[in-house]
Amino acid sequence: MAKIDAAQLVRNVRKSENWIHDVNSLLIRVKSKWTKTPEAIADRLEELKKDNPNIKPDPNRHWGLKTSFTDNLEFAVRQGSKENRRLRFLKDTPGRRRFLEIFDGKELLSYSKDFTPPNEFYLISNPRKSSIELFLPMSWPRAQYHVFWSSPISTEQILNEMGRAKEFVCVGREDYRGVDCYVLECEPRFFGGRVRRWYVGVKDGLLYGNMFLDGGRKSSEHWTLDYKEVAPGCWYPMRQGYELYNEKWFRTYLDSRRDLEVLEVRVNEELPDKLFEMQFKPGVKVKDERTTPSGDD
């Protein structure tokens, strides 16, 4: 295999994510499914019985015992001048929890409703500058940190745990979930002895796999597949997911898996103000944590 410029591949991957900061608006709707392994369920049941030997496990109350469940995700971004900027994040898990978060240009407004046990409240707070990370439940974008609103983090200013471009090396070429990929690895300074492994498409330079290895064993794996050009120059993976691993008695096992099916992506379409308005229901508790002015960007 010819010598590969791993650092340039990393820079290109990170550059390919930055379009989310350049578009005027973005709306994404997703259906997700969580699956717990038998080993994970047995481990959680053991923990519950250790705390209470007489407990009667109920998967509808102890969600760590459920073999699977679904939830719906929605993300919305509207860029523009400071007073017109808006964010919306919705996570709806039927039977468990509904969580809505909105930035209305001034405050960060949250609504949370838990079903088991019942609990419902609103929260009003000041968003800390450069601290709103919107897409954490997804597997893309994850090549670097993405915060709203500040300039996209430079490819040469990646935090130590993400791995700097010049620290990556190409260790091979493999078929990753049906895609011919270069395999890149680095040992971020922040995590001594732990390895980040990327699978980067040979043909398109996009990121298809993103693993974290600890002592050669996987602690997490993210995949991003079926890229679609949702707007000119804007490539988005319509099928995503991740696996999380756990360790017990020096043995690593698969704990859970999340499959993400992207149902809708809308770019540069007009998003109505109503989408970013919080409707406060009478009689529901409101917590106000605004203690300092939000200040200027």
Identify whether the C-beta of residue 64 lies closer than 8 Å to the C-beta of residue 255. no
pLDDT digits (tens, 9 = 90+) for 244-258: 998 887 788 899 999
Number of Cβ within a 10 Å radius of residue 138: 22
Rounded CA gap, 4 and 15, in Å?
Answer: 18
> By C-alpha distance, which of 181, 223, 185 is closest to 202?
181
- In the three-class reduction of DSSP (H, G, I as helix; E, B as strand; rest coil), residue 60 is classed as coil
| Residue 59: DSSP 8-state | T
Per-residue confidence at 157, pLDDT binned at 50, 70, 90? low
267 within 8 A of 292, measured Cβ to Cβ: no
What does the alpha-carbon distance between residue 11 and residue 55 come to, in Å, rounded to a whole number? Answer: 52
Residue 257's pLDDT is what? 96
Give me the pLDDT at residue 295, please: 47
Residue 159, pLDDT score = 63
Q: How confident is the model at residue 192 (pLDDT cuts 50, 70, 90)?
A: low
Contact 84/42 with Cβ under 8 angstroms?
no
Are the C-beta atoms of 174 and 181 separated by less than 8 Å? Answer: yes
Could you give the angle at the alpha carbon of 140 between the alpha carbons of 164 and 15, nearest 5°?
50
Over its C-alpha atoms, the chain yields an Rg (Å, rounded) of 21
The reported pTM is 0.88
- Whether the pLDDT of residue 17 is over 80: the answer is yes
pLDDT value of residue 145 = 83
At residue 21, φ and ψ (nearest 5 deg) are: -95, -15
The predicted model gives 194-213 an average pLDDT of 95
Coil/strand/helix, residue 273: helix
Per the CB < 8 A criterion, the answer to whether 90 and 72 are in contact is yes
Q: Is 178 left (phi over 0), alpha (psi -120 to 50) or beta?
A: left
| pLDDT tens by residue, 30-46 | 999 999 999 999 888 88
Tell me what pLDDT residue 12 has.
Answer: 95
Please check the confidence at residue 297 and state whether its pLDDT lies above 50: no
d(CA 171, CA 19): 29
pLDDT of 149 higher than 70: no
Q: Which of 79-83, 196-200, 245-249 has the lowest mean pLDDT?
A: 79-83
Q: pLDDT at residue 276 above 70?
A: yes
Domain 6-288 fold is outer membrane lipoprotein receptor (LolB), chain A (2.50.20)
The whole-number pLDDT of residue 151 equals 60
CA–CA gap between residue 217 and residue 212 (Å, rounded): 8
Domain boundaries, the chain: 6-288
What pLDDT was estimated at residue 296? Answer: 47
Segment 84-112, tens digit of pLDDT: 889 999 999 999 999 999 988 888 899 99
What percentage of the chain carries pLDDT values higher than 90?
59
C-alpha 248/C-alpha 243 separation (Å) is 17
